[in-house]
A and B are shown apart, each in its own frame.
Chain A
Amino acid sequence: MRATTLVPRKRPRTLSGGGVPELVLLGDGDWIETTFGPALLRLHRSGEAHVTAAVAFPASSAASLSRNFPRIRTAANLDGVDAPPDAVVIVASALRHRSARIAAALRRGWHVVSACPPAENATEVSRLCELARQHEVTLTVDLPHRLAPGARWLRAIAGGRALGGCIGFQVKEGATLASPGEIPPSGAWIDPGLRALDLITDWFGPAQPLSAADDALGGVEAVARAELLCGGNLRGTLHIDRDWKQAPLYRVSCRRGVASWSPGAIGSASLRLEATDQELAGTLSDSSVPSDPRELQLRHLLGALVRGHEPANQATLLLPALELADQVRKMRTSLSLPWLSPNESAVASSLTLHVRAA
């Protein structure tokens, strides 16, 4: 029998003195403005948080930001920021730098909301989670898809409560990307792959890839496909296409019917019961929470910091999806691209073999 050493889990600190939390913005200013901008403005104007600093912002973004937050300070790097220990930093740096920026913020005693993912692989994200624990701060990830009404609806159905046990699922993604823009772009397994894998592992539990393939030819993949096995006997497919974008679709087949969700500005859903050949279609909404998922995420985090709760969207939640993404990238094969000429196909094959062997 092995002895187990129990390490007391450190809880994140609460905000000292009941002060208003300071928000620091770091990285891709355009992305932060587009995604978190309206939420930041509402929180700032209502006095629930103060946006105080922008770090490593391009000049155009900083100018735009200063119109909404006149007292905001700008800095080239985190060393130029004098925020208090309990400040919250939204990190939207390019993926190749993101992990280092997050680590620097955590070491200063700042809570972090990271663009998804905090780092490229599960090992590095685990390291960051441990760093956050050591410094008694929180590391959360931007996962707005989890808060969508459709995602919560399908989660309940995947649990078997409404339509009986699940017998399969089908996911199509690729029309919308969620990450800050960068050159080269992150691959399809990362964006939007992690979003899909996160929902799949959240709904169905641990998954393993049965097969995986993509179209990378020495660069990063735009098309990716996988067959997954969840819980030992539930099979499903994941198709990601950023090259020829199609409407995203999440479909769960159960013993008593099929439920589908099409994410988008207005998430539509449909339900077909096994006993009928008719389909019920409509729009899912939840009037009890803010419609802006970024605002909801920030409110969850700020509320947790004030009350000493565990915040939602902690980075540890993303680990199963990151581990799955690591697995599919290790086992992936090359998709055949049938519109290429025979000569191009031959070069593509050798290129892919060479790169993957390396």
Chain B
Amino acid sequence: MKVAIHNAAGAAGARLVETFHLTGTPTPVALASDHEGLVRAGRLPVTLRRFEPASISSLASAFSGCSAAVFIPADEETPDEIVTGTKIFAEAARQARLRRVVMVSDIAVHPPDPEKSPDEDPPLPQHEHGSRPAALAAAESALLEKCAGNPPSACVLRAGWLYGARVREFADLAAELTTGVTAASAGNSPRQGLHVDNLVAAVRAALSAKLGDRHVFVVTDTGDLTCEAFRRAVSRELGSLRDEATPLPAHVETRKNTRWNHVPSRAERILGYRPAVDVNEGIRRSCAWWKFTRE
């Protein structure tokens, strides 16, 4: 099976191409909207294709020969671009007669709620207009609506806070920890992260699972790790554990106050998803990548 990776330039896309190729299946086709976006995938002897982001026909042409595609909104995309890009992706997938599309969304579409786990079934709560969670929620709806009852069948993965190789937020955290700026306690709220290798495992499962009438799945690492424990584990792995307390950066502060606690039971039950790494191994691989970039 050939699978088009829509945003091969990003951390998740690059890791999908890498893992799919090195494990032999499925065959990845790396897509990017500019030449530089193909640099990471270009290390491997895989098919590389460039497409015009605003052109349905260009993207449909880039899907040529593929039976499935993975759509990953880029971190730098604006809310409007996310929604528009998803609609273009969905129509291009239909025109290219793909059988399955997988969208990687974000658990942030669920607002923090200390009392209960995120509910995968609609309706999603209202988000501030123009925010990224609002755009992702709208994009999910657009994709599912376009694919309702017609091929391709769509699967949405609401991924936890991604960490691992090439993930900007993790790199920011590692940089802060290794440059001696030590954050204050990150709090005891559960930290719903997702190592990028577990996202790859979830996408792999989602590409071939029988979905039935379930199309949305939350995927996170085990939820018994607090934000503070995660930060200290990363700090220890980097060899920079310190006890001084300084204020947290804004993006970590946001996460600190976020309480998600969800076991990916639906993903396990319906998709057959099994994590590729536990949290300790995920942190070890993430820190090993960070150290590699500093050598």
Q: Which residue on chain A has the smallest CB distance to residue B36?
A: A177
A184→B19 contact, CB < 8 A: no
Verify if A218 is at the interface (C-beta below 8 Å from B): yes
Contact of A343 among B23, B49, B289 (CB under 8 A): B23
Interface residue SS majority, chain A = loop
A184→B48 contact, CB < 8 A: yes
> Which residues of chain B come closer than 8 Å to A219, judged between CB atoms?
41-46
Q: Which residue on chain A has the smallest CB distance to residue B50?
A: A183
Q: How far is the CA of A153 from the CA of B118 in the complex (A)?
A: 58
Interface size on A, residues (CB 8 A): 32
Contact of B39 among A185, A338, A340 (CB under 8 A): A185
**Known contacts A183-B49, A344-B18, A347-B22: does B42 contact A220 (CB below 8 Å)?**
yes
A338→B43 contact, CB < 8 A: no
Q: Which residue on chain B has the smallest CB distance to residue A351?
A: B22
**Known contacts A347-B22, A347-B23: does B36 contact A181 (CB below 8 Å)?**
yes
Contact of A339 among B23, B41, B171, B285 (CB under 8 A): B285
Q: Which residue on chain B has the smallest CB distance to residue A214?
A: B43
Q: How far is the CA of A185 from the CA of B42 in the complex (A)?
A: 7
Interface string of B283-295 (1 = CB under 8 A from A): 0011011011101
> Which residues of chain B come closer than 8 Å to A339, judged between CB atoms?
164-165, 285-286, 288-289, 292
**Known contacts A339-B164, A340-B22: does B39 contact A242 (CB below 8 Å)?**
yes
Q: Which residue on chain A has the smallest CB distance to residue B292?
A: A338
Contact of A244 among B19, B36, B171 (CB under 8 A): B171
> Which residues of chain A come closer than 8 Å to B23, judged between CB atoms?
343-344, 347
Q: How far is the CB of B151 from chain A (nearest CB, A)?
A: 29
> Which residues of chain A come closer than 8 Å to B18, judged between CB atoms?
340, 344
Identify 19 new A-B residue pairs, CB closer than 8 A, beyond the known A185-B36, A351-B22: A182-B35, A183-B49, A185-B38, A216-B43, A217-B44, A217-B45, A219-B41, A220-B42, A222-B40, A222-B43, A239-B295, A338-B289, A339-B165, A339-B288, A343-B22, A344-B19, A344-B22, A344-B23, A347-B24
Verify if B2 is at the interface (C-beta below 8 Å from A): no
Q: Which residue on chain B has the smallest CB distance to residue A218?
A: B45
Binding site for B on A (CB under 8 A): 177, 181-185, 215-222, 225, 239, 241-244, 246, 335, 337-341, 343-344, 347-348, 351
B40→A183 contact, CB < 8 A: no
Q: How far is the CA of A179 from the CA of B233 in the complex (A)?
A: 42
Q: How far is the CA of A221 from the CA of B22 in the complex (A)?
A: 16
Interface residue SS majority, chain B = helix
**Known contacts A216-B43, A340-B22: does B293 contact A241 (CB below 8 Å)?**
yes
Interface size on B, residues (CB 8 A): 36
State which residues 2-52 of B face A: CB under 8 Å: 14, 18-19, 22-24, 34-36, 38-46, 48-50
State which residues 267-295 of B face A: CB under 8 Å: 276-277, 285-286, 288-289, 291-293, 295
Pairs A–B under 8 Å by Cβ, sample size 24 = A181-B36, A183-B35, A183-B38, A183-B50, A184-B42, A185-B38, A215-B43, A217-B22, A217-B44, A217-B45, A218-B43, A218-B45, A219-B41, A219-B44, A241-B293, A243-B14, A243-B166, A246-B293, A337-B292, A338-B288, A338-B291, A339-B289, A341-B197, A344-B19
Q: How far is the CA of A348 from the CA of B166 in the complex (A)?
A: 19
> Which residues of chain B come closer than 8 Å to A343, judged between CB atoms?
22-23
> Which residues of chain B come closer than 8 Å to A185, judged between CB atoms?
35-36, 38-39, 42
> Which residues of chain A come closer than 8 Å to B40, judged between CB atoms?
222, 243
> Which residues of chain A come closer than 8 Å to B49, judged between CB atoms?
183
Contact of A220 among B34, B43, B276 (CB under 8 A): B43
